Copies of this chain bind each other. A is one copy, B any other.
Amino acid sequence: MPSDLPLRPVTFSPSIPEIRFIEQTLLPEVYKEESATTVERLALAIKRLEIRGAPALGVAGAYGIALAALTSPSTEYTRFINDIENAATTLRATRPTAVNLFYGINRALSAVKKHNDIDTAKTAAIREAEEVADEDTRTCHAIGEHGLTVVPHTCTILTHCNAGALACREWGTALGVIRSAVKNGCIVKVYACETRPLLQGARLTAWELARDGIDVTVITDSMAAPLMRKGKIDLVIVGADRITSDAVFNKIGTYMHAVCAKAHSIPFYVAAPFSTFDEDAVESDITVEMRSRDEVASFGGKITVPDEVAVYNPAFDATPAELVSGIITEHGIFKLPEDLIKIKIIRTNTKGTMS
Looking at A7-15, A54-62, A212-220, the stretch in contact with chain B turns out to be A212-220
Within 8 A of B (CB), among A235-267: 252-253, 255-256, 259-260, 262-263
Given known A196-B196, A210-B308, A256-B260, contact A29–B302 (CB-CB < 8 A): yes
- Tell me, rounded to whole Å, the shortest Cβ–Cβ distance linking A166 to chain B: 13
Residue of B nearest to A295 (CB): B220
- Tell me, rounded to whole Å, the shortest Cβ–Cβ distance linking A165 to chain B: 15
CB-CB under 8 A from A222, the residues of chain B are 195-196, 221-222, 252-253, 256
Check: A340 CB closer than 8 A to any chain B CB. no
A302 to B307, CA, bound (A): 22
Check: A206 CB closer than 8 A to any chain B CB. yes
Check: A225 CB closer than 8 A to any chain B CB. yes
Q: Is the CB of B299 within 8 A of A299?
A: yes
Q: Is the CB of A221 within 8 A of B218?
A: no
Q: Is the CB of A296 within 8 A of B260?
A: no
CB-CB under 8 A from A301, the residues of chain B are 300
Check: A282 CB closer than 8 A to any chain B CB. no
CB-CB under 8 A from A145, the residues of chain B are none
Given known A28-B305, A256-B260, A318-B226, contact A194–B194 (CB-CB < 8 A): no
Given known A203-B304, A300-B301, contact A216–B310 (CB-CB < 8 A): yes
A27 to B207, CA, bound (A): 32
CB-CB under 8 A from A306, the residues of chain B are 28, 206-207, 210
Q: Is the CB of B196 within 8 A of A310?
A: no
CB-CB under 8 A from A263, the residues of chain B are 259, 262-263
CB-CB under 8 A from A29, the residues of chain B are 302-303
A46 to B283, CA, bound (A): 50
CB-CB under 8 A from A297, the residues of chain B are 202, 218
Given known A217-B312, A220-B252, contact A300–B302 (CB-CB < 8 A): yes
CB-CB under 8 A from A28, the residues of chain B are 303-307, 309
Check: A317 CB closer than 8 A to any chain B CB. yes
Check: A311 CB closer than 8 A to any chain B CB. yes
Q: Is the CB of B255 within 8 A of A218?
A: no
Given known A217-B311, A309-B206, A311-B217, contact A224–B300 (CB-CB < 8 A): no
Q: Enumerate the 8 nearest inter-chain pairs by beta-carbon distance, A residue then B residue, closest first.
A: A222-B253, A300-B300, A225-B256, A28-B306, A196-B220, A226-B317, A300-B302, A217-B310
Known: A28-B307, A206-B309, A222-B253. 12 other contacts (CB 8 A): A194-B196, A202-B304, A210-B306, A217-B312, A218-B296, A218-B309, A218-B310, A220-B313, A221-B221, A223-B313, A225-B255, A300-B302
